[in-house]
Structure 1
Amino acid sequence: MEDKTVFDLIERLTNNPADKDAAELLPAAYEAARIKRKSITDNLVQKGAPGDKYIEMAKEWMVLKQMYDKIKSSPGANAALPDPWDPSLMIQGANKLAAEDYYNAGMTFLGYNTRQYAQKAYDNFQKASKASPGYKDVDNMLLIAAEKATTRVLVNPVNYNRYTYGYFGFQNDWMQQQMVRDLNARSYANTRFFTEYDLRAQQLVPDKIVDLNFTDLFIDNVHTDSRSYQRSKEIVTGQTKTNPPRQLTQTVYATVTVSRRYMSSYATLECRIYDRETNNNSLYDRFSDRIEWVQERATYTGDRRALTPQDIALISNRWDDYPPNREQLAETLVRKTYQQLLSRISSGVNF
């Protein structure tokens, strides 16, 4: 209430410097606002939390700084109150004290040398930097804390079900590399993903490990079989000359032989994500998919008129559709199971 009164009086004097009532009321209103600020900041000194209390004190003084700036920019208000208090130095001092408290807390947390406390250290260094940019070596300490707070996840090479990836025609371990890229791109908080080569190159030890294992990765060969069935149909061949005429019918027969080529390939990807020290699982699940490839064509003997439209469609088929090769099938199954895994991780796996 005191603040609003002061700002209203300043606005009146800005619009009308000759407003005597506003000029007489402004000093007392300003003093009431200043006393209120002093009461609040004195209480914060006694009871406020380290760091936070200085930020709150600076916010209170910032209100008085806004009053100061408005009074100095208004000839009418400045004439009524020629010597308002400029709290700029107090604000700067409070921010410095806040930065010092936050910085010291960050150093204490960092000394515990755990990921959890490193995160607390990082949060405090951030507050210190915001309160007083460039305070001491806070920028460097932010980098150190961020590194210590990072969970390092090793994505192991994929086990391709008793074979190497080259058996299926892959040029490299596609899934391992893709998983590292995809998960790093998703910006998990304080988490980075590595191959074993990356960790060795940087001399880092993983906190969590991802094992990928195809318990099934079966690429089928083309199988063939055939079956035959009979068709019969009664057809109209004419009519009698009687009155009234009657239809003449005949039963016709055909034998349909269907030849079939087919493949049934399938894969099951097992993924375990676990803590290196405790061996506790963050995820242990399996993801399966299957590809069925079928091609049929037919021949017939007998009377074509006995055939159904479906029979005729099969007879018209040709062996023009070549079966997918081993590499195509394996890559499709790997990608499908991998996408299921990625979706499962996104739905709620905590690293």
Structure 2
Amino acid sequence: MKPYLPKLLKPSFYSHSLPLFVALLLIISACSSGKKALQRGDYYDATLKAVERLRQSPNNKKARHTLGEAYYRAVEENLRTTRTLDTKINPLNWEKIAQSYGRINEMGNEIRRSPAALRIVKNPTSYLGEEIKAKEKAAEARYNEGVKAMALNTREDAKKAYYHFVKANEWVNGYKDVATQIPIAKDAATLKVLVQPIQVPNSFGLGRDFVQNQVMEYLNTNRRMNEFVTFYLSWQTPNYCCADQLLLMSFDEFTVGQVFQKEKTTTAIDSVRRSVRLDDGSSKTITDAVKADYTHHEQYVVSNGRLDVRIIDVKTNRILMQDKYPGEFVWRNEWGTYQGDKRALDEEQEKAIKVRPIAPPPPQDLFVELFRPIYDQLTGNMRRFYSRY
């Protein structure tokens, strides 16, 4: 007797059941009573989860018990933070105080939006005035730190100042003149790099401008680039005098449109059967020997080069980075010709003789194609180099 083997479920079962299973997990997670958060001492999170559970199930015993236990402990815990933090020694402690008052007010607002929760916590406390004052103090502390950092007059301190001013504006939107200070700090923190045009012969000017613009677009818009580095094109800003670095690019090896041709002739021989009609009216199959000289033509247009890239410190004239990026592009065209009986050609040869020779692309296009592999190397290295700034 063969052992019983259960039938495997069809793949369609899994494909239809998986989204349902995930949805159930999300529902179960959303319906948490907050008991686990209470057990690990996260009273704030336990309160919010219990209130959310009571909105969906007003008589849920676990949620009612959790809310009663967690809310008052959460309030006391956050009030303890506001009383114990020293804002004289560290004015930035106003941020933690504002966060604590904010949590108390958030819990109270959530409870007021739930009738079931209000039956457990009948009079949730409000510290709205205290939260507003703490936010003002937090913004003031950040603003003052930003002013101090800017006074140190270094790029790194300007970067710190920028973050301080941004944070001040987050605590109180439009605090003092922070909207003016943010761009000033950002400009002082930003490394300015002046980019010289890629040095190529004048006949490739259009192609050079195209690839140059592609590089500049990447450097100034790619999200993975350092936000505190800005690149300027020298011919677009000829009077720009405040550059910190120069980015120089030139080809020390450069060949575009070097043409190579290759031909190979072979003799194709085959036999072809055909039917002929005899004088007496009958037909007969005969075999003809056919022959053709087939020539396969190949034309290659090779373009290659090596881009030399240097980054120079303007003040010291020191070379900060130098590297070379090779690139190559080969344009190919293949076709066939023959002399003799076409029937001797094979399938590939018949396709080849239908192809006609075409003129290579213009040098501008070859230059752009040559630059593609160089572009990938260049932009990747620029991103890594400027990440340190």
Given the two structures, how large is their TM-score scaled by the length of structure 1?
0.67
Which whole-Å CA distance do the structure 2 matches of 1:275 and 1:47 have between them? 42
Match of 1:128 in 2: 168
Deviates more, 1:190-199 or 1:110-119: 190-199
Deviation at 1:55, TM superposition (A): 1.8
Paired residue type of 2:326: F
In the alignment, does 2:345 pair up with 1:289? no
Equivalent residue for 1:192, pick from 227, 230, 243: 230
Conservation of the 8 A alpha-carbon contact between 1:64 and 1:86: yes
SS in 2 for 1:219: strand
Conservation of the 8 A alpha-carbon contact between 1:256 and 1:311: no
Given the two structures, how large is their TM-score scaled by the length of structure 2?
0.62
In the alignment, does 2:189 pair up with 1:149? yes
In the alignment, does 2:255 pair up with 1:218? yes
C-alpha offsets along residues 189-240 of structure 1, whole Å, 9 cap, x if unaligned? 2222210134445x442223322222233123555565555x4869699xxx
Match of 1:42 in 2: 83
Which whole-Å CA distance do the structure 2 matches of 1:315 and 1:135 have between them? 74
Judged with a 3 Å threshold, the aligned counterparts in structure 2 of structure 1 residues 108 and 274 are, in CA distance, closer, same or farther, namely same
Deviation at 1:311, TM superposition (A): 8.7
C-alpha offsets along residues 2-25 of structure 1, whole Å, 9 cap, x if unaligned? 9789999xx9xxx9xxxxxxxxxx
C-alpha offsets along residues 84-124 of structure 1, whole Å, 9 cap, x if unaligned? 97533332322222222211111111112222111100111
Equivalent residue for 2:219, pick from 173, 180, 183: 183
Match of 1:22 in 2: none
Give the unaligned 5+ runs of structure 1: 16-25, 238-248
Paired residue type of 1:159: Q
Structural RMSD (CA): 4.8
Judged with a 3 Å threshold, the aligned counterparts in structure 2 of structure 1 residues 254 and 275 are, in CA distance, closer, same or farther, namely same
Conservation of the 8 A alpha-carbon contact between 1:226 and 1:260: yes
Judged with a 3 Å threshold, the aligned counterparts in structure 2 of structure 1 residues 236 and 173 are, in CA distance, closer, same or farther, namely closer
Which whole-Å CA distance do the structure 2 matches of 1:109 and 1:315 have between them? 72
Judged with a 3 Å threshold, the aligned counterparts in structure 2 of structure 1 residues 342 and 313 are, in CA distance, closer, same or farther, namely farther
Which whole-Å CA distance do the structure 2 matches of 1:35 and 1:311 have between them? 85
Match of 1:334 in 2: 371
Match of 1:119 in 2: 159
Percent identity over paired residues: 24
Match of 1:246 in 2: none
Deviation at 1:63, TM superposition (A): 4.7
Higher alpha-carbon Rg? 1
Deviation at 1:275, TM superposition (A): 4.2
Judged with a 3 Å threshold, the aligned counterparts in structure 2 of structure 1 residues 96 and 312 are, in CA distance, closer, same or farther, namely closer
Conservation of the 8 A alpha-carbon contact between 2:335 and 2:357: no
| Segments of 4+ moved more than 6 angstroms | 1-8, 32-35, 67-71, 234-237, 249-254
Judged with a 3 Å threshold, the aligned counterparts in structure 2 of structure 1 residues 43 and 253 are, in CA distance, closer, same or farther, namely same
Conservation of the 8 A alpha-carbon contact between 1:298 and 1:314: no
Conservation of the 8 A alpha-carbon contact between 2:257 and 2:366: no
Conservation of the 8 A alpha-carbon contact between 2:331 and 2:360: no
Conservation of the 8 A alpha-carbon contact between 1:227 and 1:258: yes
SS in 2 for 1:173: helix
Paired residue type of 2:324: D
In the alignment, does 2:303 pair up with 1:265? yes
Judged with a 3 Å threshold, the aligned counterparts in structure 2 of structure 1 residues 134 and 170 are, in CA distance, closer, same or farther, namely closer
